Amino acid sequence: MALNMNDEAIGGCPQDTQQRRRRLRLLFRASQDGFSAKTFHSKCDNKGPTVAIVQSGDYSFGGFTKECWDKGETALRQLQEEADFYQIKAMLDELEFNSEILTNKEHRSLLLRWLPPQNTENRRRSLRLLFRASQDGFRAKTFHSKCDSKGPTPTIVQSGDYVFGGFTEESWSSQGGYATCTEAFLFSIVNPRGLEPTKMPLKQQDQQYAIYCKSDFGPTFGGGRDGHDLYISDNANISASSSVCLGDTYDTCDIYNGYDFNDSDKTTVRDDYFFTGKTLFNVTNYEVLQLFN
């Protein structure tokens, strides 16, 4: 619960020099508004001094700040540290990962484990939504306006029933050309063959082709003689020109581990079909999230 303090108030918080009574007005109640950090910020940001009251089982506690909340990284970190300290699980889950595509908690946890190691302070890492095509639109220029120069980002792509994507520790940009990475990778969460989620690491000899940046391209990973390993096109929801050409820059050696091949598979099992069952596809939705400590 978060409450806004105005000029008529209660005891226990500083009053003004005229000793006027101060009151608390309800801004947010998680039990009725939900535990989404996004909703908390939409209702509480820039509202001046606030009191937060938290219930965990039989225990009640909270805090007061005279500063405004905001949705920047510092405020999110403060909120997360409080939730982590008091083990408010619903809020922790939302702060760690806000995705409409990866709704399965096991899949979310898996992607978080795949991301590069945490810092030496071993603080919890979080993903903050930068771009969601279903709400921001599928134009490449919008992707760049929201995601360029934001540092490490995973991209999560949905095409029909299938979910896949990639991670880069380098920033996206609108200037044409490749960017070198050492920790980038592609991944499959849900694929046509029903195989387990798979991580495809960057080939060491091809690090200079890890991602491709261009103003009229969406997120694009890898490059080679036949095309990009994963390319999301402009207007990817209405144009089936997004493409998969796995194996040039990212290692696909392990993607069919555990799969029992038969004769009919010999012509249909190809790396390029692994994500969606075809090389060209429409995008149902995609999200880009910023990784921060």
User: What are the tens digits of pLDDT across the range 203-247?
Assistant: 999 999 999 999 999 999 999 767 899 999 999 999 899 999 998
Residue 117, in any domain of the structure? yes
**Do 163 and 288 belong to one domain?**
yes
Residue 80, in any domain of the structure? no
**Do 147 and 280 belong to one domain?**
yes
Average pLDDT over residues 170-197: 95
Average pLDDT over residues 139-152: 97
Determine the pLDDT at residue 178. 96
**Do 191 and 255 belong to one domain?**
yes
User: Could you list the residue range(s) of the whole structural domain that residue 39 is in?
Assistant: 2-9+17-71
**Do 231 and 112 belong to one domain?**
yes
Answer yes or no: are the C-beta atoms of 171 and 149 closer than 8 Å. Answer: yes
Which has the closest alpha carbon to 246: 267, 269, 262, 230? 230
At position 27, the amino acid (one-letter code) is: L
Query: With the C-alpha atoms ordered 218, 221, 222, 224, is the resulting torsion angle positive or negative?
Result: negative
**Do 151 and 277 belong to one domain?**
yes
Residue 268 has pLDDT above 60, yes or no: no
Residue 91, in any domain of the structure? no
Lateral strand order in the sheet of 126-132: 126-132, 285-292, 153-159, 162-168, 185-190, 198-201
Average pLDDT over residues 7-16: 48
Determine the pLDDT at residue 168. 98
Lateral strand order in the sheet of 242-244: 177-179, 211-213, 220-221, 230-231, 242-244, 280-281
What's the token pair of residue 31? 């039990």
pLDDT bin (cut points 50, 70, 90) of residue 263 is very low
Residue 264 has pLDDT above 50, yes or no: no
Residue 78, in any domain of the structure? no
Determine the pLDDT at residue 266. 43
Number of domains in the chain: 2
**Do 123 and 246 belong to one domain?**
yes
Answer yes or no: are the C-beta atoms of 210 and 168 closer than 8 Å. Answer: yes
**Do 118 and 211 belong to one domain?**
yes
Running DSSP on this structure, what letter comes out for residue 153? Answer: E
**Do 102 and 66 belong to one domain?**
no
**Do 58 and 182 belong to one domain?**
no
Average pLDDT over residues 257-266: 53
**Do 171 and 58 belong to one domain?**
no
Residue 199 has pLDDT above 70, yes or no: yes
pLDDT bin (cut points 50, 70, 90) of residue 41 is confident
Average pLDDT over residues 262-281: 73
Return d(Cα 127, Cα 125) in angstroms, integer. Answer: 7
pLDDT bin (cut points 50, 70, 90) of residue 79 is low
Determine the pLDDT at residue 120. 45
**Do 66 and 121 belong to one domain?**
no
**Residue 113: in which H helix or E strand, if any?**
helix 105-114
Determine the pLDDT at residue 13. 52
Query: Which one is predicted more confidently, 284 or 68?
Result: 284
Triad 14, 17, 22: Cα angle to 5°: 50
State the pTM of this model: 0.69
